[in-house]
Amino acid sequence: MANHPTWEVFVDGSVRPYHSILNPGKDGGFAGCAWVTLNPITGDKRFAMGYTMPSTRDVTSTELKGILEAFQYLDKMIQLDPGRDFICINVTVYSDYMDAIDEVRYAFAPADGPIPLSGHRVGFTESFAHPDLSYGILKVIRSLEARGIVARLMWMARRSTPGACLADDYARRVVEYRRRFVGSGNVPAEFIVR
């Protein structure tokens, strides 16, 4: 593979469980995810987007939602500019949550065969917990690959790069937004990007 520029997107999800003195066992929590990217050509002009989630304590679904939104953004940007030669670019989405990456691996796995998971574990597709999100990610990756774009989902240690730190910070801000303004949907850009 030639040395093509890589469009990198950093994703993070965050969950803050409810803390109620009156009902300490209450399920759910405030959740949100965010992704951040830089212009792939010039390397400047940071852009980020955050998404609040319904009440949940499920970190994996929160991270998968961020991964899906990041890949969908990349796919839309490439569709909006068909005259540009995007074949000469690779896209990589980085996540710091290995369980979410493992779920996407499940989507690539054979119907009933084992696949290697993180930590030298072996898993089977019967334990697929978030098929809508995982197959959604797979669908977008295949859409990008159909255009000749190399699309990757890779693990990166938490807060190991400036992009990962920004995604982590933005995800926490989204959760705070969700806590303060109980609702679900896109978070205003002015709230997460400063």
Q: How many domains does the structure of the chain reveal?
A: 1
Q: pLDDT-derived band of residue 125, with 50, 70 and 90 as boundaries?
A: very low
What is the arithmetic mean of pLDDT over 12-28? 67
Domain at 110, CATH number = 3.30.420.10
Task: Report the candidate in 90, 91, 95, 65 with the shortest Cα–Cα distance to residue 156.
Answer: 95
Question: Packing angle between helix 59-80 and helix 98-108, nearest 10 degrees?
Answer: 60
pLDDT of residue 114: 52
What is the arithmetic mean of pLDDT over 177-183? 69
DSSP 8-state assignment for residue 95 = E
Q: Which residue has the higher pLDDT, 118 or 148?
A: 148
Residue 1 is assigned to a structural domain of this protein: no
pLDDT of residue 41: 58
Residue 91 is assigned to a structural domain of this protein: yes
Length of the chain: 194
pTM of the model: 0.79
| pLDDT(25) > 70 | no
Q: Which residues pair with 155 in a beta bridge?
A: 95
- pLDDT-above-90 percentage for the chain: 12
Q: pLDDT-derived band of residue 103, with 50, 70 and 90 as boundaries?
A: confident
pLDDT of residue 94: 93
User: In a 10 Å sphere around its CB, with 0-12 CB exposed, 13-18 middle and 19+ buried, how is residue 185 labelled?
Assistant: exposed
How far out from the chain centre does Cα 24 lie? Answer: 30
Give me the residue label for tokens 């890779």. 154
Residue 53 is assigned to a structural domain of this protein: yes
pLDDT of residue 110: 56
Residue 170 to residue 128: CA distance in whole angstroms? 28
| pLDDT(2) > 90 | no
Q: Which residue has the higher pLDDT, 24 or 125?
A: 24
What sections of the chain are H helices per DSSP? 59-80, 98-108, 131-146, 162-180, 189-192
* Owning domain of residue 28: 6-192
Residue 12 is assigned to a structural domain of this protein: yes
Q: pLDDT-derived band of residue 128, with 50, 70 and 90 as boundaries?
A: low
Residue 38 is assigned to a structural domain of this protein: yes
Q: Which residue has the higher pLDDT, 89 or 14?
A: 14
